[in-house]
Homo-oligomer: A and B are copies of this chain.
């Protein structure tokens, strides 16, 4: 896994690849990759930024795929629960996972100026946290590691 979010990349290609990976993962695990769930993932992949549940819902509405909050939340919950998307606690928002299928402990770097969100490997930070927790007898199930600051572009612009 590599960091994604601040550099340019072949977006069309990365969407297609992610979708295919998730499709296969669902088939392998017996999960239903339904039209709404698929479309929500596509929306997150298209935007490639953190989106609120209501942002996603707006798109679904225009397409006649659902109009009430639970529709969006259920699809997002499914994607998050299975590691196909992540929830950014700081923003109450969601992003598509950049490495679906890979076991990983993502960290998020959130730009407070332009709202870009990058996902970066959080292995070391996560290990440090788990070992500290283990010493206390705390059983870690999920970890959220998020940094807020300025992305390279905004550092440059704002300087």
Contact = CB atoms under 8 A, between A and B. Distances in A.
A129 B129 CA distance: 11
Interface stretch (A8-16, A33-41, A118-126): A118-126
Contact of A118 (B6, B129, B138, B146): B138
Given A89-B89, A89-B90, A89-B146, A141 B112 contact: yes
A40 B125 CA distance: 32
A147 B137 contact: no
Interface residues of A, number: 38
A3 B141 CA distance: 19
Given A109-B138, A137-B155, A155-B137, A147 B129 contact: yes
A125 B126 CA distance: 7
Interface in A138-159: 138-152, 155
A12 to B, nearest CB: 24
Interface of A: 3, 6, 89-90, 107, 109, 111-112, 118, 120-122, 124-126, 128-130, 132-133, 136-152, 155
27 contacts: A3-B136, A112-B141, A118-B138, A120-B136, A121-B132, A124-B128, A125-B125, A125-B126, A125-B132, A128-B128, A129-B147, A133-B149, A136-B152, A137-B151, A137-B155, A138-B149, A138-B151, A138-B155, A139-B150, A139-B155, A140-B147, A140-B148, A140-B149, A141-B147, A142-B149, A144-B146, A145-B146
